[in-house]
A = this chain, B = another copy of it.
Amino acid sequence: MSKSPALPASLKQLLVKGNELFLPGISIDCVIFGFHENTLKLLLLDSAKSNKWTLPGGFVLKSEDINDAAYRVLLERTGLKDIYLKQFDVFGQPNRIDVSAHKTTFEQYGSKIPKDHWLIQRFVSVGYFALIDYTNYAIQNDTMNSAYAWKGIEQVKNLPIDHDHGTIIQKALESLRTQLAYLPIGKNLLPKKFTMPELQKLYETILNKPLDRRNFQRKMLGFGILNKLNETRKGGAHKAPFLYTFNDKKYQKALKEGLYGSW
């Protein structure tokens, strides 16, 4: 490898065309949650240059709706369309991004970035969290960009994270927890068919605390968003648990109206 490898096409496009393609000063960051082996996972991108991990993100086309941009970014990154996506916060501190990082990135390729270039201005980022079906995505993982990796939510705490992406992740997790209290969750995180213990593990992982098995089941069934199937998941050295699916109609209704209503 030479000291100045060729500038990747994607970066070159940003450098040359970013200015005319994208809105100035606005970016999107996606905190992509998946669930696998009883762990909540995040899809992170290894930004090889800085040796740190970053959130998958992107920019907004000049005539593109911001939410559409987020869906586009997700589609580009995961190939998935059936995704739950929620805008949860805006990150607008003036010095949240160290622009010098961008400079050095380009300098490593022997390219110089103009002083007042679009990319090294201050950026405000809109944070989205996404819930995706890990089993569905995992297939694509290997065939795509190997720089992406799933990291367990516990691991993430000990990883070097770029910019303010650590804060963004933290906020996303809090939002997810808050949502859990009044909206159904799981449809996008679990495979079509799942068992009650699997669903419970998902809740326990997100909430980071154990729940009583029997009370959980009663409450969950009480929401009326589950279909109990006449199949069981055999395999474990134990009594085979029944499989469930979400009742799409009622799930969507609960997403709109909330699970309780309280007042």
Residue ranges of A at the interface with B (Cβ–Cβ < 8 Å) = 23-26, 60, 62-67, 69, 87, 89-90, 92-94, 122, 124, 126, 178, 180-182, 203, 207, 211, 258, 260-263
Q: Roughly how many angstroms separate A23 CA and B263 CA in the complex, as a whole number? A: 41
Contact of A87 among B64, B66, B90, B211 (CB under 8 A): B90
Are B23's CB and A211's CB within 8 A?
A: no
Are A263's CB and B211's CB within 8 A?
A: yes
B residues less than 8 Å from A89 (CB atoms): 87
CB distance from A211 to the nearest CB of B (A): 7
Are B126's CB and A90's CB within 8 A?
A: yes
B residues less than 8 Å from A60 (CB atoms): 92, 124
Are B181's CB and A124's CB within 8 A?
A: no
Give 9 closest A-B pairs by Cβ, nearest first: A66-B92, A181-B262, A63-B94, A24-B24, A65-B93, A90-B126, A23-B25, A207-B263, A24-B25
CB distance from A221 to the nearest CB of B (A): 16
B residues less than 8 Å from A180 (CB atoms): 263
B residues less than 8 Å from A66 (CB atoms): 90, 92-93, 124
16 A-B pairs whose Cβ atoms sit less than 8 Å apart in the complex: A23-B25, A23-B122, A24-B24, A25-B26, A26-B124, A60-B124, A62-B94, A63-B122, A66-B90, A66-B93, A67-B92, A69-B92, A87-B90, A181-B263, A207-B263, A211-B263
Are B94's CB and A65's CB within 8 A?
A: yes
Q: Roughly how many angstroms separate A63 CA and B180 CA in the complex, as a whole number? A: 36
Q: Closest chain B residue to A123 by CB distance?
A: B23
B residues less than 8 Å from A203 (CB atoms): 263
